[in-house]
Structure 1
Amino acid sequence: MSGVTNGPALPADWASAFVDGELTIGGIPASRLAARVGGTPFFAYDRARVAGRVAALRQALPASVDLHYSLKANPMPALVGYLGRLVDGFDVASAGEMKIALDAGMAPERVGFAGPGKSDAELRQAAAAGVIVSLEGQGEPERLHEAGRAVGCRPRVMVRVNPAFDVRAGGLRMGGGPKPFGIDEEDVPALLRRVAALDLDFAGFHLYWGSQSLDAARIAEAQEQAMSAFLKLAAVAPAPPRLFNLGGGFGIPYAAGDPALDLPAAARNVAAAAARLAQQLPDARLIVELGRYLVGEAGVYVCRVLDRKVSRGEVFLVTDGGLHHHLAASGNFGQVVRRNYPVAVATRPIDGPRETATIAGRLCTPLDVLARKAELAVAAPGDLIAVFQSGAYGASASPAGFLSHGAAPEILI
């Protein structure tokens, strides 16, 4: 009995992590972890699960493909430092993330800095550090050139392409149509001429078409079109491209009915893209950039039941956690139709007495719900609640200042 109504079943590997009636994370009971971090709520990330995911990808992908981690998924410094020993590079989207990546020991030429709206100060820092800046603003080549002159170096650049093709593969579309991200594909040749005139160190192209896709066939379609765009643009590049960042888009299941991504099929797609690149540009490297797929399933958010109440026949477990720490699990302030993440009472046997209950936070909004009408072990004040699939877009993507309860600690196990 590891499932929840209106939500997904508890992942089998997490179900097996219940020992003597309590969830263990990295082999440590949840209650002991709570004591270690000074109480609840907290996020815990299991390094063995992260390493296992990277190993599975390494086994499935061709050795010629570089694997990058996107810090936007989870920039916790200890986690980034650990991943730095497992992946080939990092992708960042701010000066803060860039500092974390470099502090982790990643070589600057293996760090890509993407994102719209980079400030002049960020461009100067990126140029001085020697990271590769993905150009995605019409004025960025000139601004980066000036940044390089200010710090006395020749900046490294890629061009982020907003593709002309319609992107259907991602749960979250980051390319195709009018977008603030990247340079429209039809405008890239003119921008490349400016890159050449400014003598920027051109490294290659970046095309991030979307994220959180569970459909390997649609990922393949997007990647095939991306490679076609890359190879067409390579013909007008100011220098032979050294790097092609294909993005990633690999998703993880969150809710009932979500299938797991077919990794072998997705890897075959990447292998086909790598073979195509090797045939036409044998000196270039293909990059797959992943975030949540590497860390999402390795994380757990743990909070404590403060109160148990019944309102017109419905059981509510009111916790010290909520949307201020885990906005995505609550439904992003109602921006999406919320569906339960996998949840469990971490301090009760999963095969014991059960009931249907709603897990609510303590914020003054009806949107502060972590699970609605979920089938759970019968819980009481003091019990711990675990929200799984919480390793990505959790602590750093949530409004921790809302109602001033404070941020949740994070721990790498």
Structure 2
Amino acid sequence: MGLDGGGVGVTRGSISAAPVPAYLDEWVRRAFDDPNLLGEISFALRGPFHVVYPPLVGRNIQGFRTVFEQAGIDGVVYYGKKANKSPAVARACAEHGAGVDVSSTGELTAALAQGVRGDELMVTGPAKSDDLLWLATRHGALIAVDNLGELERLAALGTSAAQARVVLRVLPAASASRFGMTDAEIDQALTALDGRESIRLEGFSFHLSGYDAVARAELACELITRCLHARALGHPATTLSIGGGFGVDYVPATAWTEFTEHVDRQWFHSGKSFDSYYPYHFPAPGPAMLAAILEHDGLAQRLRDNTIRLAIEPGRALLAHAGFTVFRVQGSKIRHADGSPYCLLTVDGTSLSLSEQWFDSEYLPDPLLWPARPGTPTPTSVGAATCLDSDMLSWRRIPLPRAAAAGDLLIYPNTAGYQMDSNESAFHDLPIPPKVVLHDAPVLTHRAGSASCHPPGNRFRWTLDG
């Protein structure tokens, strides 16, 4: 099929970007290969939708827990809930022994509603409201105190018989972050906590931008010293949280190198360019990065020797390969660049549901075109169903395996981490895409007079999330 649905297709040339194929988990391939599933969901929902598969969240949690076990340390995983609002993800955390990191009363109550217990919550964020501090204290959550004023307000609440459990958030040296306390403020906080029976200091926390395992290990070692100093002052100080920022490996190294070393504005609709991209290839993702942190400078041994629990707050990494986003093609037109034609699609949603635009960047893993049919590779950019020139899901001219037609589905893989709902809006009164949860359907084998249930087969059932 050609660009116009009947002519000769366009082979990859100078205007077509290098492919950036995504890693696809087995469950994604099953969903894509099902001849009915995605089409039926699209027909039922009449618009774009997100898909989540909770068993992958459980598998990712277990990956981190296994690293803790192998290192012989007491470790706890708090899921950074801001990465995805899905109730099914919070339920998976409750079912697989992970806590949840929340930053609002809405997130806190949503986590409780999915079975996460109060003492399995960590409450983070700047200058928390009195309502959030009160509710967190009532439920026994661990509160990361961001500033001295917050500590004073927490002490003044006095509305719970239980102690407020806190860690003090440290501002890393030379950091320009607006979060955390300086060395002098930490010293003031320790003085303010002296004799304060209503507050229990359980340790310290920090968060670093980027994905440097060595920097995290080195700062963690420094904070072990802080814990020991706090203990000398009479505080328990048994917990150290190193935050999140665990990388995810979306695409193969060769594809990522090909893209980054040869990226050119001529690969993008209207000559668009971006200053930076998320590192879609990450050689030591998730649990492997945690293992590298624990191995550096004897961190695991120091944690064991000093009986300190290590907390981590991954968001994206717990959602790795656990979801995708589906748009329906509404129409297409032909445009030309350097005399070569390419396809410009319009889909039934907006870039607000693929939130990498929020970071003034582009989501790069190649979307899949469903149904799979033979055709001619076709450079394709993807626009949204709004009246804004800037509303593009993919500025890049993606080398789709064939020309897309109205009614086809475009599937963006691995979007569960931050892409699905960080930036949603009902602009133009378009509905916000719902989330669909896939469930493995049991296979029934009928025998004479009975039916026996066997382990899940290749068939999925689906429900709306929540």
Q: TM-score range by the shorter chain?
A: 0.7 to 0.9
- Determine helix, strand or coil for the equivalent of 2:222: helix
2: CA distance between counterparts of 1:411 and 1:196? 50
Q: How many residues align?
A: 382
Write the letter of the residue equivalent to 2:333: K
| Aligned pairs for 1:104-253 within 5 A | 104-147=114-157, 149-164=158-173, 166=174, 176-177=175-176, 179-199=177-197, 200-210=199-209, 213=211, 218-236=212-230, 238-253=234-249
Residue 380 of structure 1 aligns with which residue?
405
Candidates 279, 287, 299, aligned match of 1:273? 299
**Structure possessing the higher radius of gyration over alpha carbons:** 2
1: CA distance between counterparts of 2:120 and 2:317? 20
Residue 111 of structure 2 aligns with which residue?
101
Alpha carbons of structure 1 residues 180 and 274: separation in structure 2 relative to 1, 3 Å: same
Residue 3 of structure 2 aligns with which residue?
none
1: CA distance between counterparts of 2:418 and 2:363? 16
| Aligned pairs for 1:16-55 within 5 A | 17-18=28-29, 23-24=32-33, 29-35=37-43, 38-55=45-62
Residue 265 of structure 2 aligns with which residue?
none
Counterpart contact for 1:134–1:160, Cα < 8 Å: yes
1: CA distance between counterparts of 2:106 and 2:33? 32
1: CA distance between counterparts of 2:163 and 2:363? 49
Counterpart contact for 2:207–2:243, Cα < 8 Å: yes
2: CA distance between counterparts of 1:184 and 1:297? 37
Alpha carbons of structure 1 residues 71 and 18: separation in structure 2 relative to 1, 3 Å: closer
Residue 169 of structure 1 aligns with which residue?
none
1: CA distance between counterparts of 2:218 and 2:58? 29
Residue 350 of structure 2 aligns with which residue?
322
CA deviations over 1:339-381 (Å, ceiling 9, x no partner): 52331113224x6432111111112222221222001132100
Residue 383 of structure 2 aligns with which residue?
360
Q: CA deviation at 1:161?
A: 1.1
Q: TM-score, normalised by structure 1?
A: 0.84
2: CA distance between counterparts of 1:123 and 1:79? 24
Residue 441 of structure 2 aligns with which residue?
none
Q: CA deviation at 1:55?
A: 3.2
Identical columns (%): 23
2: CA distance between counterparts of 1:310 and 1:136? 53
Write the letter of the residue equivalent to 1:182: G
Write the letter of the residue equivalent to 1:119: S
Write the letter of the residue equivalent to 1:29: L
2: CA distance between counterparts of 1:58 and 1:28? 37
Alpha carbons of structure 1 residues 244 and 23: separation in structure 2 relative to 1, 3 Å: same
Counterpart contact for 1:161–1:184, Cα < 8 Å: yes
Counterpart contact for 2:216–2:293, Cα < 8 Å: no
Q: CA deviation at 1:197?
A: 4.0
Q: CA deviation at 1:224?
A: 2.0
CA deviations over 1:169-199 (Å, ceiling 9, x no partner): xxxxxxx23x221212342121122123433
Counterpart contact for 2:57–2:92, Cα < 8 Å: no
Counterpart contact for 1:310–1:316, Cα < 8 Å: yes
Q: CA deviation at 1:120?
A: 1.5
Residue 443 of structure 2 aligns with which residue?
none
Alpha carbons of structure 1 residues 229 and 405: separation in structure 2 relative to 1, 3 Å: same
1: CA distance between counterparts of 2:55 and 2:417? 16
- Determine helix, strand or coil for the equivalent of 1:286: strand
Q: CA deviation at 1:9?
A: 1.1
More displaced stretch, 58-67 vs 43-52: 58-67
Counterpart contact for 1:324–1:400, Cα < 8 Å: yes
1: CA distance between counterparts of 2:224 and 2:389? 47
Write the letter of the residue equivalent to 1:205: F
Write the letter of the residue equivalent to 1:204: G
Write the letter of the residue equivalent to 1:361: A
Q: CA deviation at 1:54?
A: 2.7
Candidates 309, 313, 325, aligned match of 2:333? 309
Counterpart contact for 2:246–2:314, Cα < 8 Å: yes
Q: CA deviation at 1:107?
A: 2.4
RMSD, aligned α-carbons: 2.6
CA deviations over 1:80-125 (Å, ceiling 9, x no partner): 1112211332111111111112222222122110000311122122
Q: CA deviation at 1:307?
A: 0.8
Candidates 10, 21, 33, aligned match of 1:9? 21
- Structure 1 alignment gaps of length 5 or more: 167-175
Candidates 343, 348, 362, aligned match of 1:338? 362
Alpha carbons of structure 1 residues 242 and 107: separation in structure 2 relative to 1, 3 Å: farther
- Structure 2 alignment gaps of length 5 or more: 1-10, 258-279, 439-466
Q: CA deviation at 1:30?
A: 1.8
Alpha carbons of structure 1 residues 233 and 17: separation in structure 2 relative to 1, 3 Å: closer
Residue 170 of structure 1 aligns with which residue?
none
